[in-house]
């Protein structure tokens, strides 16, 4: 359960990071 939760949290953080990076790239371009 704990591992599953951490995995889920990881995927959420990754998606947020990707969103942030893609928006920053779009902004700079």
Q: Report the pLDDT value the prediction gives residue 5, as an integer from 0 to 100.
A: 63
pLDDT at 7 over 80: no
**Radius of gyration over alpha carbons of the chain, in Å?**
13
What pTM did the predictor assign? 0.52
Q: Give the mean model confidence (pLDDT) for residues 7-21.
A: 87
Binned at pLDDT 50, 70 and 90, residue 21 comes out as very high
Binned at pLDDT 50, 70 and 90, residue 11 comes out as confident
Number of domains in the chain: 1
Q: Report the pLDDT value the prediction gives residue 9, as an integer from 0 to 100.
A: 74
The boundaries of the domain holding residue 23 are: 1-29
């Amino acid at each position: 359960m704990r591992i599953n939760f951490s995995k889920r949290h990881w995927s959420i953080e990754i998606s947020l990071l990707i969103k942030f990076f893609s928006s920053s790239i779009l902004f700079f371009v």
